[in-house]
Amino acid sequence: MERLQKVMAQAGVASRRKSEDLIVAGKVKVNGETVTELGTRVSLADRIEVEGVQIVKEEAIYYLLYKPRGIISTANDEKGRKTVVDFFPEVEERIYPVGRLDYDTSGIIIMTNDGEFAYLMTHPKFEIKKTYIAKTKGIPRREDLRKLERGIKLEDGMTAPARVKTISVDQKAKAAIIEITIHEGRNRQVRRMFDAIGCPVDSLKREQFGNLTTRGLNAGEARPLTIHEVKQLRVLAETGKIG
């Protein structure tokens, strides 16, 4: 038995939070009866209707995509540009990206049809760590990197503490490669953090997401996540650590 809002999110109806709103608003029926209790548990055998439409319970699937630059990370693009979903022509389930990567950012993006899992991976309260490799224009000063570490003021507020490591510095080209680990996921956050210290990002790659890395994949390639990896990511979200 699973909680009703979890089953709804997994079926792709809406995020778990929006599913809760739909339940409380009296828009959900289980076996013909309107249910407004958030604690309600349902099984695969129960017939669930949302605003009069029966939901289809799909098997949950999970992929890791190494997104190349120049690809949109939404399910569909109104301008008809290639999206992350276009890398999965053979997948019939309605998968979508977990969170976003900018058009010009490469690296790990998880694709799934499991809304509950997507919520666990993206809500800042679960603090899933994401590591980026940023090539900067200009060489950040040590004290500026400390600011990034401690938290820096952006137009939408202070950032949470980050882990920052200089990988290399090219004095001649006035550029640096910096590794930065954050657990928030604000829009263009890493780019804005480097803008705030006067060293804009030239290129950005998400190298690690929780326990996942791009190891073994080239840009544009994907692989299914193992059951173990999915479980580990859930444990990471729920407890903050693995093992």
Binding residues for ligand URA (CB under 6 A): 101-102, 105, 188-191, 204
In the complex, the smallest distance separating the C-beta of residue 177 from ligand URA, rounded to whole angstroms, is: 16
CB 192 within 8 A of CB 139: no
Residue number with CB closer to ligand URA (13 or 233): 233
Q: How far apart are CA 231 and CA 228, in angstroms?
A: 5
Residue number with CB closer to ligand URA (13 or 180): 180
Q: Is the Cα torsion angle 11, 15, 16, 21 positive or negative in sign?
A: negative
- Structural tokens at position 76: 């569909």
Residue number with CB closer to ligand URA (102 or 116): 102
Marked catalytic residue, from 21, 46, 77, 102: 102
- Structural tokens at position 153: 């003021």
In the complex, the smallest distance separating the C-beta of residue 195 from ligand URA, rounded to whole angstroms, is: 9
Say whether 86 is catalytic. Answer: no
Angle subtended by helix axes 189-196 and 142-150, to nearest 10: 140
Q: Specify which residues 166 forms β-bridges with.
A: 178
In the complex, the smallest distance separating the C-beta of residue 105 from ligand URA, rounded to whole angstroms, is: 3
For the annotated catalytic residues, the residue numbers are 102
